[in-house]
Amino acid sequence: MTDFSEFAQVCQKIEKIPGSIETTSIISDFLAQIDDDELYIVAHFIRGKVFPQWSDLEPGIGPNLLYTAIARTAGIKVLDVKNMVRDLGDIGAAARDSLKKKTQVSFSAFFKEESSISIKEVHSRFSDIATSSGRGSQSAKIRNLQYLFSNVSPEEAVYISRLAVEELRIGVGEGLVRDAIAKAFNVDTELVERGYMLTNDLGTVALTARKEGAKGLSNLNIKINRPIKMMLAQIAESIESAVSDIGEVAVEWKFDGARVQIHKDYDHITLYSRRLENVTNSLPELVKKLKQSVGAEQIILDGEVVAVGRNGKPMPFQQLLRRFRRKYDIQQMQEEIPLTLNLFDIMYINGRSLIDLPLTERRKILAVHIQNLEGLTLAEQNITGDTGTIQRIYESALSAGHEGVMLKNPSSLYTPGKRGKNWLKIKPIMETLDLVVVGGEWGEGRRAHLIGSYTLACLDTENNTHLYVGKVGTGIDDKQLKELTLSFKQLVITEKGKELQFEPRIVFEIAYEEIQKSSNYSAGYALRFPRFLGVRADKSPQDADTIERVEQLYIKQGTVYIP
């Protein structure tokens, strides 16, 4: 039985060292020494996850709940904890400092500073928290958290609280855990990687590697009702470059909707969102149609759900999301936001994984088992190397209100979770926006000394003020990040925890995928997937884009639907 304190020490060590090779060794040594049950748990804990990604379970611990549990354990006010989080910018550090107060007071009462709680017990308390529901569940959750905090040292509380919010902040990603498993149990990294793709569960992979070695890993397979990660797409430079890279391509419309993975297990249909959340209950009409259309006992399919407006064109993405998140009034919403489903891939049928078959083969199998119905269709696909034909398909997709086209390598395998060169997307280039940077946020872990995210605003010339439209952190390379940090350090007006406010001096050129209506930002609009293109050193803050231009671009992008 391993103490949670040992796990906390591993995290502490990793936090202190910069190199990934050393990190891999620390993790692999730890994985090798713990027992089987602990191995399953730690394979998730070390990435800040309490449960595997395919699982419906999540801790479901909001910040207030956590602050309350910390405050009660430490005998201080919730507001004190909140202030500490704001000042320290980290719930872990706030929990540690809060509990230190308690420890000081309790020393005289022989309060134990040493941990006496095991990894398994921590996991089991989190499971209790995740499964408690209904009346009294909030207090049950707080009690469980209080129990945990009362039985760990302040240093361990750092990781208990970070696990509670599933953000361990020690910079350990899937790749590192994969390498550590391979090293700990002396198996090929590729086999570990493959096992992970099929099971979506590093715990299962670690246990199999330990108990059954390479042979066991090769036998791992996809399981129905355990979602696998979605295969992802890359942006292509142009149709020409895609064809010159791949040759003949399988061309499909890039539907403007949301991804779903469908699992049919006899009469039982389950739908998972792109983030692998179970969204079945909010989409009953799709479940019904799938039951009518799919002619196989067990099957896993990939597709895109589109919300269709009265004009026959896709509704904006946020409308569609209202369907995905809905718990009540589902019947009424079916009429307000009707859905269609376009199926484009198949990964599994009747006990057999199909991911190692080429796309063309998978597509043939898919076609045999799907019966096109109104609102549920097999996505049309053309295999061609003719750029003129592709251009025509692209234009037809755009005029139907969709996003563009996907150009897929016909011989490619289905690679879960991978953003490779086998699926390329072609989309129109959006006009860019020049926006003033009015705030920022310090990074995390190894990037804590850099300003990693920047708050963007457009101008409201009438009221002589700035209106927020979003934040950007993508598209900035390491060198730029250092340079930007140096420049913006001179412009800080206020600093609260990790949040910074700047004098509005610098203008960024920003690319994005879409402008959405949003109540989160004062402009009333938000940029979807904003990307930094560069500093517009030639522009002064007064020359930045205005709210009127944001509005115009919103209308121009053609996603305004007729309700």
Say how far apart CA 508 and CA 547 lie, in whole Å.
16
* Distance of closest approach, residue 256 Cβ to ligand AMP, in angstroms: 7
Residue 304 sits in the site that holds ligand AMP (CB under 6 A): yes
Say how far apart CA 91 and CA 185 lie, in whole Å.
34
Q: Determine phi and psi for 390, rounding to 5 degrees.
A: -65, -40
Residue 252 sits in the site that holds ligand AMP (CB under 6 A): yes
Q: Determine phi and psi for 232, rounding to 5 degrees.
A: -115, 170
Residue 344 sits in the site that holds ligand AMP (CB under 6 A): yes
DSSP 401-418: T--EEEEE-TT----TT-
| The one segment of 251-259, 285-293, 438-446, 530-538 that binds ligand AMP by CB under 6 A | 251-259
Residue 27 sits in the site that holds ligand AMP (CB under 6 A): no
Query: In this structure, how many other beta carbons lie within 10 angstroms of the beta carbon of residue 286?
Result: 25
Residue among 232 and 413 whose Cβ is closer to ligand AMP: 232
| The one segment of 180-188, 227-235, 277-285, 449-457 that binds ligand AMP by CB under 6 A | 227-235
Residue 283 sits in the site that holds ligand AMP (CB under 6 A): no
Residue among 261 and 353 whose Cβ is closer to ligand AMP: 261
Residue among 53 and 161 whose Cβ is closer to ligand AMP: 53
Residue 406 sits in the site that holds ligand AMP (CB under 6 A): yes
- Residue 161 corresponds to which amino acid? S
Does 289 qualify as catalytic in the annotation? no
Interface mask (CB under 6 A) for ligand AMP, residues 60-99, using x and -?
Answer: ----------------------------------------
Residue 194 sits in the site that holds ligand AMP (CB under 6 A): no
Residue 255 sits in the site that holds ligand AMP (CB under 6 A): yes
| Per-residue 3-state assignment (H helix, E strand, C coil) for 57-68 | CCCCCCHHHHHH
- Among positions 13, 101, 194, 259, the unique one binding ligand AMP when judged by CB under 6 A: 259
Could you give the residue ranges of the DSSP H alpha helices within 342-492?
359-369, 387-399, 478-489
* Distance of closest approach, residue 234 Cβ to ligand AMP, in angstroms: 8
Residue among 172 and 339 whose Cβ is closer to ligand AMP: 339
Residue 425 sits in the site that holds ligand AMP (CB under 6 A): yes
Q: Determine phi and psi for 359, rounding to 5 degrees.
A: -50, -45
DSSP 218-240: HH----TTSPPPPPEEEE-S-HH
Residues of each annotated binding site for ATP:
252, 259, 274, 304, 344, 419, 425
* Distance of closest approach, residue 452 Cβ to ligand AMP, in angstroms: 22
| The one segment of 52-60, 230-238, 355-363, 499-507 that binds ligand AMP by CB under 6 A | 230-238
- Residue 366 corresponds to which amino acid? L
Position of tokens 């057999």? 352
Residue 418 sits in the site that holds ligand AMP (CB under 6 A): no
Say how far apart CA 228 and CA 251 lie, in whole Å.
24
Going by DSSP bridges, is the β-strand pair 339-349/268-273 parallel, antiparallel, or unpaired?
Answer: unpaired
Tokens of 201: 């569960």
Going by DSSP bridges, is the β-strand pair 499-502/492-496 parallel, antiparallel, or unpaired?
Answer: antiparallel
In the set 141, 183, 229, 254, the catalytic residue is 254
Say how far apart CA 469 and CA 459 lie, in whole Å.
10
| The one segment of 15-23, 249-257, 261-269, 539-547 that binds ligand AMP by CB under 6 A | 249-257
Start-to-end CA distance of the chain, whole Å, equals 60
Residue 170 sits in the site that holds ligand AMP (CB under 6 A): no
* Distance of closest approach, residue 233 Cβ to ligand AMP, in angstroms: 4
- Among positions 84, 163, 233, 283, the unique one binding ligand AMP when judged by CB under 6 A: 233
Contact between residue 376 and residue 289 where contact means Cβ atoms under 8 Å apart: yes
Q: Which residues contact 18 (CB under 8 A, 6 or more apart)?
A: 446
* Distance of closest approach, residue 201 Cβ to ligand AMP, in angstroms: 22
Say how far apart CA 228 and CA 443 lie, in whole Å.
30
* Distance of closest approach, residue 523 Cβ to ligand AMP, in angstroms: 23
CB-based burial, 128-164: b 16+ in 10 Å, e otherwise? ebbebeeeeeeebbbbbbbbbbbbbbbbbbbbbbbbb
Size of the site for ligand AMP (CB under 6 A): 12
Tokens of 113: 């500073």
- Among positions 279, 379, 506, 511, the unique one binding ligand AMP when judged by CB under 6 A: 379
CB-nearest residue to ligand AMP = 259
* Distance of closest approach, residue 306 Cβ to ligand AMP, in angstroms: 9
Residue numbers at the binding site for ligand AMP (CB under 6 A)? 230, 232-233, 252, 254-255, 259, 304, 344, 379, 406, 425
Please identify every residue annotated as catalytic. 254
